[in-house]
Amino acid sequence: MNTQTMKENINLTNMKEKSIAEIHAEHKQTIGEPFCDNVKFSTRNVDVFYADNQAIYDVSLDIGKNEVIALIGPSGCGKSTFLRCLNRMNDTIDICKVTGDLELDGTNIYSKNQDPVLLRARVGMVFQKPNPFPKSIYDNVAYGPRIHGLTKNKAELDELVEDSLRKAGLFEEVKDRLNSPGTGLSGGQQQRLCIARTIAVQPEVILMDEPASALDPIATAKIEELISDLSKNYTIVIVTHSMQQAARVSQRTAYFHLGKLIEVGETNQIFTHPRHELTERYITGRFG
Amino acid sequence: MSITAIIFVLLLLAAYSYFIKRQKVYALYRTQSIKKSKIKQTLPKYFGYVAALWSLVPALLVLIVIQIIDEPLVKSSLADYIQSEKIVIGDAADDFDLYMNEIKNMSIDELESADPEKIKVFNQYQKFQSISNYAMTIIVLAMAILMTAFGMKKVKINTPARVIFEKFIEIILLLAASIAVLTTVGIVLSVLFESIRFFGEIPFTDFMFGLEWSPQTAIRSDQVGSSSAFGAVPLFVGTMLISLVALFIAVPLGLMSAIFLSEYASSRFRSIAKPVLEILAGIPTVVYGFFAALTVAPFIRDLGESLGMSVASESALAAGLVMGIMIIPFVSSLSDDVLSAVPTAMREGSLGLGATQSETIVKVLIPAALPGIVGGVLLAASRAIGETMIVVMAAGLAANLTVNPLQAVTTVTVQIVTLLTGDQEFDSAKTLAAFALGLMLFVTTLILNVIALHVVRKYREEYE
């Protein structure tokens, strides 16, 4: 085949394919299985606005108990915004407005009676960049339990701190220097410290916003391993840019595109047989 | 030629060297094939700069040196002349200086009335002056022209012009920095020498530990004010008392308003409220003094009387309260800035664990912002210690040794002012005491600074 015909072929395919913007504009209904049994979190018709800009359009999604669900999609698609709705972290942004029904165990988390502080104790969060407090490793983990009065005495607190650090797979590395500052740890250790800090509050759901994006491959592998361990006891919602990571750690995957929830399904199915054209294009790496 | 004219000529020369050199290098670049080979070249202007420096700097240095040695030279030649003409002006060196001043300040119309001897000296003085001026002009200009020519030859295409110019910039910056440092050293030394003179008359221990302050020096022994006492303790206690009252007001109010502005207020409210708060620091202290003396002090006195307490009409409390209001912006503005500078990640980390906003502020934000907050408090404290006007107007001049804020006290700075204003001879213990007080004040603030620095280093929680 000479180059001339190759060019023509490409032109032809381009003409056949609709542009991404067109497909996105036509998209109305999430395809796949956004709803599930044994629901922990249920969200219906969620819209999010930053001042006049709409960031999320009519998203409805269930999150099951003890499942790991991955939110994927290109940058700016609203997956982090959606995640931050789940523990009302968006409340800290003045111009942000959330509408729709978001229920945790059947109670509306945006109702007037809901104390966002209590909600955040039940729905913990791990951030993109490790953000340990400028305190000792011990104080970092003990921060939450102290605030919520989870332990009666020092011995119980010690135990809880050790237990949380163990669950985060960090205890063996730091047991001799619990009193040295948490900011002195390596990036991966810091992130595991942040996870330990979150576990120490004994939440029911853990939200993770690209928890491994600032880490090297080895640290990433440790975090992923940790997520698999944690999924036995916690419901985990993870936002990730890495499709391999989503494939490795999650049972279900939701694909977001420019504020719309395009497709939800079993992780295996999403990655092997995506049903929506946008999902397919994203997964095969044609954009994003 | 006047110095201004000389400097102007030097600048012209420098400009000349700059343009000529730059032009030459341009021309060289154009003719050489290097230009085409795309090798990066030093920009021609740098060669110009270096050439200009050659014509400017050595001549300027010579000018400065001549300026320094010029005056003593003229003076000594004039002294020689006076001796050779056998004019009698008295023996002491002081007399000669006095005489010199007279000569210098003589003007043309005075000449007719002055005595002929003086006129002779004056004429001679003017002659010396013009000789030295000619010499200076010739030497400096010759130097400049010589160096311009030298620079033209010396600056070649392979001169590291950029490096030399960079070094020059560095030296200029170093000079700027050292002027600030040297000024500080100079102030300290001048205060120190006068203080040493004071301690020659009044023993150091009397000054440091004396409990009575009544700074009078009698000219005759039978005068009323002959019993003087220079014990600085009442002054320092007074200063500390007023400053503590002020900080007691300013630190909580300032810190709380900073927290509100940085954490709770909407950005619109903050953009209005912060400048308004900072206006407080811009109000002249005299105005605060009115406020303290006419409004606050009577109010406190009346309030105290209605509660059955005896309150002096000039009280430490009144001065301290008003001073506290004045220094609020020092605490609030700086604290607000450092609180806002704590990364959002810290806030979200804490909120994400289910901490309330106030828990987040107390446990995460304030520890992280502590160095800046302490810095603000320290600034406020040194401002309070050094404040004079409000105290003069509201707290009075009576050097009582008391820690009761309802009584009149006085401060170190107020006493310095009262010691140095008015007509007095400069070498009496009374005036010299002002320098000793100044020195002590300086040492006190220095110690405060060191302590605060230490505290900050120990307790700060460093975020990345």
Which positions in chain B touch A135 (Cβ < 8 Å)? Answer: 367, 461
Q: What is the pLDDT of residue A3?
A: 54
Question: Per DSSP, what are the bridge partners of residue A235?
Answer: A205
Q: What is the pLDDT of residue A140?
A: 94
Q: Residue B396 in contact with residue B414, Cβ under 8 Å?
A: no
Which positions in chain B touch A187 (Cβ < 8 Å)? Answer: none
Q: What is the pLDDT of residue B112?
A: 66
Largest CA distance in chain A: 79
Average pLDDT over residues B154-161: 83
Which positions in chain B touch A194 (Cβ < 8 Å)? Answer: 349
Q: What is the pLDDT of residue B462?
A: 66
Task: Decide if B267 and A94 are in contact by the 8 Å CB cutoff.
Answer: yes
A6 close to B (CB below 8 A): no
b/e code A206-234 from CB counts within 10 Å (16+ = b): bbbbbbbebbeeebbebbbebbeebbeeb
Domain presence at residue A138: no
Domain presence at residue A61: yes
Average pLDDT over residues B173-198: 92
Which positions in chain B touch A120 (Cβ < 8 Å)? Answer: 351-354
Domain presence at residue A275: yes
Task: Decide if A147 and B359 are in contact by the 8 Å CB cutoff.
Answer: yes
Angle of the B233-259 helix axis to the B429-459 helix axis, nearest 10: 40
Domain presence at residue A154: no
Considering the domain B214-459, what is its CATH architecture? Orthogonal Bundle (1.10)
Q: Nearest by CB to A127, which of B348, B364, B463?
A: B348
Model confidence pLDDT, tens digit, residues B10-46 = 999 999 999 999 888 888 888 776 555 566 678 888 8
Of residues A25 and A246, the one with the higher pLDDT is A246
Model confidence pLDDT, tens digit, residues A146-164 = 999 999 999 999 999 999 9
For chain B, the domains span 3-159, 160-201, 214-459
Q: Nearest by CB to B354, which of A121, A127, A181?
A: A121
**pLDDT beyond 80 at B456:** no
**pLDDT beyond 80 at B87:** no
Q: Nearest by CB to A124, which of B352, B356, B462?
A: B352
Lowest-pLDDT range, B69-73, B86-90, B172-176? B86-90
Task: Decide if B354 and A194 are in contact by the 8 Å CB cutoff.
Answer: no
**pLDDT beyond 60 at A167:** yes
b/e code B276-294 from CB counts within 10 Å (16+ = b): ebeebeeeebeebbebbbe
B264 close to A (CB below 8 A): no
Closest alpha carbon within chain A to B267:
A94
DSSP string, B135-159: HHHHHHHHHHHHHHHHHHHH--TTS
Q: Residue B375 in contact with residue B281, Cβ under 8 Å?
A: no
Band (A60; pLDDT cuts 50, 70, 90) = very high
Q: What is the pLDDT of residue B71?
A: 83
Task: Decide if B356 and A117 are in contact by the 8 Å CB cutoff.
Answer: yes
Closest alpha carbon within chain A to B263:
A92
Q: Residue A104 in contact with residue A205, Cβ under 8 Å?
A: yes
Model confidence pLDDT, tens digit, residues A89-140 = 988 888 899 999 999 998 999 988 888 888 999 999 999 889 999 899 999 9
Closest CA to B244 of B304, B333, B298, B324: B324
Q: Nearest by CB to B346, which of A133, A147, A181?
A: A133
Q: What is the pLDDT of residue A5?
A: 56
Q: What is the pLDDT of residue B372?
A: 84
Calpha distance A167→B310 (Å, rounded) = 67
List Cβ neighbours of B378 (8 Å cut-off, separation of 6 or more): B448, B449, B452
Calpha distance B67→B62 (Å, rounded) = 9
Average pLDDT of chain A is 88
Closest alpha carbon within chain A to B464:
A183
Q: Residue B406 in contact with residue B310, Cβ under 8 Å?
A: yes
Closest CA to A235 of A212, A207, A254: A207
Average pLDDT over residues B196-218: 82
Task: Decide if B462 and A181 are in contact by the 8 Å CB cutoff.
Answer: yes
Of residues B286 and B88, the one with the higher pLDDT is B286
Q: Give the N- to C-terminal CA distance of chain B in Å, as an integer.
A: 61
Model confidence pLDDT, tens digit, residues A138-147 = 999 999 999 9
* DSSP 3-state of A109: coil
Q: What is the pLDDT of residue B153?
A: 87
Band (B210; pLDDT cuts 50, 70, 90) = confident
Which positions in chain A touch B358 (Cβ < 8 Å)? Answer: none
Task: Decide if B345 and A127 are in contact by the 8 Å CB cutoff.
Answer: yes
Domain that holds residue A257: 30-131+206-283
Which positions in chain B touch A133 (Cβ < 8 Å)? Answer: 346, 349-350, 364, 368, 461, 463
Q: Nearest by CB to A144, which of B354, B367, B463?
A: B354
DSSP string, B182-245: HHHHHHHHHHHHHHHHHHHHS-HHHHHH---EE----SSTTSGGG--EE--HHHHHHHHHHHHH
A149 close to B (CB below 8 A): no
Domain presence at residue A144: no
- Count of residues in chain B: 464
Model confidence pLDDT, tens digit, residues A175-228 = 999 999 998 899 889 999 999 999 999 999 999 999 988 888 888 898 899 899
Strands A31-32 and A260-266, bridge-based pairing: parallel
Tokens of B162: 């950029």
Q: Nearest by CB to B462, which of A125, A147, A183?
A: A183
Q: Nearest by CB to B351, which of A92, A122, A133?
A: A92
List Cβ neighbours of B370 (8 Å cut-off, separation of 6 or more): B456, B459, B460, B461
Count of structural domains within chain A: 1
Closest alpha carbon within chain B to A92:
B348
Q: What predicted TM-score, i.e. pTM, was given to this entire model?
A: 0.73
* DSSP 3-state of B133: helix
Band (B119; pLDDT cuts 50, 70, 90) = confident
Task: Decide if B348 and A148 are in contact by the 8 Å CB cutoff.
Answer: no
Which positions in chain B touch A147 (Cβ < 8 Å)? Answer: 353-355, 359, 363
A49 close to B (CB below 8 A): no
Interface residue of B270, B353, B462 to substitute, partner A, most A CBs within 10 Å: B353
Domain presence at residue A177: no
Closest alpha carbon within chain B to A121:
B354
Band (A13; pLDDT cuts 50, 70, 90) = low
For residue A277, give how far its alpha carbon lies from the nearest alpha carbon of chain B (Å): 36
Closest CA to A260 of A89, A31, A39, A84: A31
Domain presence at residue A15: no
The radius of gyration of chain B's CA atoms, rounded to the nearest angstrom, is 32
Model confidence pLDDT, tens digit, residues B257-303 = 999 999 998 888 989 988 888 888 888 888 988 888 888 888 888 88
Calpha distance A276→A98 (Å, rounded) = 27
Dihedral of CA atoms B225, B213, B204, B239 in degrees, nearest 10, equals -150
Largest CA distance in chain B: 98
Average pLDDT of chain B is 84
Question: Looking at residue A261, which CATH number applies to its domain?
Answer: 3.40.50.300
Residue ranges of A 192-221 with Cβ closer than 8 A to chain B: 194, 197-198, 201
Closest alpha carbon within chain A to B360:
A147
Q: A205: which DSSP letter?
A: E
DSSP strands (E only) in A138-191: none
B459 close to A (CB below 8 A): no
H or E element, residue A70? strand A68-72
Q: Residue B231 in contact with residue B213, Cβ under 8 Å?
A: yes
Domain presence at residue A79: yes
Calpha distance A61→A252 (Å, rounded) = 11
Region for residue A209 given its phi and psi (left: phi exceeds 0; alpha: psi -120 to 50; beta: otherwise):
beta
Whole-complex ipTM: 0.84
Model confidence pLDDT, tens digit, residues B374-415 = 888 988 888 888 888 888 888 777 788 888 888 888 888 888
Q: What is the pLDDT of residue B31?
A: 79
Which positions in chain A touch B345 (Cβ < 8 Å)? Answer: 127, 129, 131
**pLDDT beyond 50 at A1:** no
